[in-house]
């Protein structure tokens, strides 16, 4: 049987890793289109639905429903299930902030900041899961900080999406922290024996429930009546691209390639999303902003490539 160390397998895995990049980058374009005509509060619900359907399908395909039944010998335990529920709640709160960030700052400001979640996830795992941290991760943090400064300076001298574009940075940063925490909770649940299908189902079932609850609480009226069909359609397409296509490509790539290599390729997503936004949405981009995005991408790559040896072999 071929393994991930085979050159042929690695070549087969690279298109899938690139598919992950294209899926997530394209989703951000549709998200930006959606928030122009649709209330951002609708976003988490519609974006989460395709992922929930994927989770239901995977649970059925792999026969992992019994992992959630306390009477089953394969029950993963309430601690693991609560980890995925908490991941769903926290990531959805981050997603609410993401939609407001992308409305105020656009893709070119929001996505590079949001993608720093891998750094914060690494640091949080170091504290709470006692996972080792490589010194290159600290260099990655320095690269990211420099990149964010260059990105902000470039935007100041350019043509921002809105007069309040600067709010996109703390909002996207909060999303990154939420995703980082969620990633640690996800890993904690999987270390307790949960299958990926179980994790996806529980997290996105929680996400859709939280999204609906937040929508009804914050906006009591039928906000869907005020939403343009173009925006709703864009959100659903975004959900399919990020929650089905990108996730499927990621899992396939992880099966065919080394984990560090997959994440290294995935780290170019901010650059790809930036180019998509510049050419398709005509968002402003100058040299300083491009340098900032490249520095952020380099910082993310440093964190992913120089992971602890036991994680690279996972």
For the stretch 124-158, pLDDT in tens is 766 666 666 666 667 777 888 888 888 878 877 77
In a domain? residue 87: yes
Tell me the mean pLDDT in the region 197-213.
Answer: 91
Is residue 1 a part of any domain in this protein? no
Q: What is the DSSP string of the chain?
A: ---TTSHHHHHHHHHHHHHHHHHHHHHHHHHHHHHTTS-GGGHHHHHHHHHHHHHHHHHHHHT-GGGG-TTSTT---HHHHHHHHHHHHHHHHHHHHHHHHHHHHHHHHHHHHHTTHHHHHHHHHHHHS-----HHHHHHHHHHHHHHHHHHHHHHTS--SSTTGGGHHHHHHHHHHHHHHHHHHHHHHHHTT--HHHHHHHHHHHHHHHHHHHHHHH--S-GGGGS-HHHHHHHHHHHHIIIIIIHHHHHHHHHHS-HHHHHHHHTTHHHHHHHHHHHHS-----HHHHHHHHHHHHHHHHHHHT--HHHHT-
pLDDT tens profile 41-73: 788 888 888 999 999 999 999 999 999 999 999
> Does residue 242 lie within any of the structural domains?
yes
Mean of the per-residue pLDDT values of the chain: 82
Q: What is the pLDDT of residue 100?
A: 92
Q: In this structure, is residue 175 part of a structural domain?
A: yes
> How many domains, the chain?
1
Asked whether residue 172 is domain-assigned, the answer is yes
Q: Check pLDDT > 90 for residue 247.
A: no
Query: Which pLDDT does position 75 carry in this prediction?
Result: 93
Q: Is the pLDDT of residue 210 over 50?
A: yes
Q: What is the predicted pLDDT for the residue at 206?
A: 95
Of 4-13, 85-94, 231-240, 249-258, where does the model show the most confidence?
A: 85-94
Domain carrying residue 47: 7-312
277 part of a folded domain: yes
Mean pLDDT of 167-189: 89
Q: Is residue 155 part of a domain?
A: yes
Let me know if residue 2 belongs to a domain: no
How confident is the model at residue 4, as a pLDDT?
45
């Amino acid at each position: 049987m071929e393994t991930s160390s085979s050159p042929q397998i690695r070549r087969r895995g690279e298109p899938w890793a690139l598919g992950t990049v294209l899926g997530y980058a394209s989703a951000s374009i549709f998200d930006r289109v959606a928030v122009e005509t649709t209330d951002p509060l609708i976003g988490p619900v519609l974006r989460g639905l395709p992922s929930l359907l994927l989770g239901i399908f995977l649970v059925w395909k792999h026969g992992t429903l019994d992992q959630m039944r306390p009477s089953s010998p394969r029950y993963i335990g309430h601690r693991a299930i609560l980890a995925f529920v908490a991941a769903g709640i926290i990531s959805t709160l981050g997603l609410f902030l993401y939609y407001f960030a992308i409305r105020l700052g656009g893709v070119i400001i929001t996505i590079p900041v949001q993608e720093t979640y891998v750094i914060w996830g690494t640091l949080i795992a170091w504290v709470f899961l006692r996972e080792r941290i490589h010194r290159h991760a600290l260099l990655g943090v320095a690269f990211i900080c420099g990149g964010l400064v260059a990105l902000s300076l470039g935007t100041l001298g350019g043509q921002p999406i809105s007069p309040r574009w600067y709010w996109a940075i703390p909002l996207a940063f909060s999303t990154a922290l939420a995703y980082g925490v969620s990633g640690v909770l996800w890993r904690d649940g999987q270390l307790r024996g949960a299958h990926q299908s179980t994790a996806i189902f529980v997290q996105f079932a929680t996400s859709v429930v939280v999204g609906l609850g937040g929508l009804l609480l914050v906006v009591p009226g039928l906000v869907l009546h005020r939403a343009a069909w173009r925006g709703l359609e864009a959100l659903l397409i975004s959900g399919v691209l990020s929650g089905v296509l990108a996730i499927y490509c990621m899992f396939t790539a992880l099966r065919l390639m080394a984990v560090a290599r997959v994440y290294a390729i995935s780290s170019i997503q901010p650059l790809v999303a930036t180019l998509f936004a510049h050419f398709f949405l005509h968002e402003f981009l100058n040299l300083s902003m491009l340098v900032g995005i490249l520095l952020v991408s380099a910082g993310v790559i440093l964190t992913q490539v120089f992971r602890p040896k036991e994680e690279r072999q996972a």
